[in-house]
Amino acid sequence: MVERANRPSNLSAPKASAPGPQVDIVGQGGSQKVVATLPSGESVEVLLFGATVTSWKSNGGKTENLWLSEKADLTGSKAVRGGVPVVFPVFGPPPKSGHATSSLPQHGFARSSRWEFLGKSDTEDALDSDSVKLDFGLDRSGLSEDARKAWPLDFGLVYSVTLSKESLQTVITVRNEGEESFEFQFLLHTYFKIQDISKVSVTGLSGTEYVDKVLDATTHQQKDNAIKFTGEVDRVYKAIPQDTTSILEDGKPRFDVIRDNVKDTVTWNPWIEKAKAMGDFSPDDGYKNMVCVEVGAVDGWQKLEKGEVWEGGMLVKSLL
Ligand SMILES: O=P(O)(O)OC[C@H]1O[C@@H](O)[C@H](O)[C@@H](O)[C@@H]1O
């Protein structure tokens, strides 16, 4: 045996036999999901339908960070009300006519298509804490007949969901696999679970221009640092200079949402009447326990020429 002064002791030997993250595919048909759990108890669940993250637990598995409606359809027949639906290739209602997305449904097809699970990779960061990356793919062949007709373009999406002890990272790669260029929008429609909307504020958007969908899509400037929720909020913040938007509860930081190569963020809470009007939103007063902070690229369009690739997403830290 070669003698070395700095031979690692047994205690610091590589943890070859230490248990790594557990990844399972559970359920059948449209309900099939990938469940990943770290040895320390944190977990994430991703429904193949929409590649929708429906649960993210941190704090050793004790704290659920995402709001999921009690009436969310988890059978693969309808976009999920809650979690992190993926919005692509159009945000909101598409342009009325004259755009390649014009015949698509609101928020596009990604959230209501079945994605393929491409596999997992485990990583260990410098602090020796485990994380696991789950990759999901969607291309033209995975679309419904209707979506294929409505958006007759060749594309490839890879969506990576990385679970670490205190964070969840979700990043999409969009590739133009066709001959023609195409334009798209992308957004992560995250429903954060909170205790009480009346005690929530969202910071990190001051100085930014936004379109207020509640006020006839008029444009405003965000003056206050803290956004409070006392009624319906549906705003599209554009070209945000700061990277981080924070959600505070009772003045204490609860989530940091860090944009990665995307500049826009939607804040949404349907409030009393709109919540009641949504058939899959439950309980009726569930609006008190959720706030959507949705990062994306929705101001104008991203354009990809043949063979080009675009990447964007977010890192969310749960700060409990
Ligand atoms: O009911 P959907 O299609 O899931 O959309 C929910 C909300 O999504 C938000 O992103 C939009 O800004 C809102 O206008 C919309 O109401």
Tell me the per-residue pLDDT of 6-36, one tens digit each, with 9 for 90 and over.
444 444 445 555 789 999 999 999 999 999 9
- Which value does ipTM take for this structure? 0.98
Residue 11 counted as domain residue: no
Q: What is the distance between the alpha carbons of residues 268 and 8, in angstroms, rounded to a whole number?
A: 52
* Residue 195 confidence class, pLDDT cut points 50, 70, 90: very high
- Is position 105 within any domain? yes
Examine residue 15 and state whether it is found in any structural domain, yes or no: no
Q: What is the CATH number of the domain that holds 120?
A: 2.70.98.10
The answer on pLDDT for 81 being more than 60 is yes
Residues with Cβ within 8 Å of 173's Cβ and at least 6 positions away in sequence, in order, are 157, 158, 159, 160, 309, 310, 311
Of 10-19, 105-114, 288-297, which gets the smallest average pLDDT? Answer: 10-19
Is ligand 1 within 6 A of the CB of residue 213? yes
**CA 293 to ligand 1 centroid distance, Å:** 11
CB-based contacts of 228, cutoff 8 Å, min separation 6: 200, 201
Q: Does residue 107 have its Cβ closer than 6 Å to ligand 1?
A: yes
Question: How many domains, the chain?
Answer: 1
Q: What is the pLDDT of residue 233?
A: 98
Q: What's the mean pLDDT in 177-199?
A: 98
Q: Per the domain annotation, does 7 fall within a domain?
A: no
Sheet of 252-260, strands arranged across = 116-124, 130-139, 155-164, 167-176, 309-318, 252-260, 244-249, 200-203, 226-228
CB 271, CB 287: distance < 8 Å:
yes
Residue 123: per-residue pLDDT? 72
Q: What is the mean pLDDT of residues 248-263?
A: 98
β-sheet bridge partners, residue 316: 168, 257
Does 187 score more than 60 pLDDT? yes
Q: Which residues are annotated as a binding site for substrate?
A: 81, 106, 111
243 falls within a domain: yes
Better pLDDT: 120 or 17:
120
Q: What is the pLDDT of residue 236?
A: 98
Which residue segment(s) compose the domain that 92 sits in?
20-318
Token duo for residue 132: 């696991």
Q: Which residues of 50-81 are buried (b: 16+ CB within 10 A; e: fewer)?
A: bbbbbbbbbeeeeeebbbbbeebbbebebbbb
Nearest-CA residue for ligand 1 atom 9 is: 268
220 flagged as catalytic: no
Q: Does residue 6 lie in a domain region?
A: no
Helix or strand run (H / E) with residue 190: none
The pTM assigned to this predicted structure is 0.94
Concerning whether 294 is annotated as a catalytic residue, the answer is: yes
Kindly state whether residue 12 falls inside one of the protein's structural domains.
Answer: no
The residue whose CA is least distant from atom 12 of ligand 1 is 234
**Would you give the DSSP letter of residue 169?**
E
Q: Is residue 314 part of a domain?
A: yes
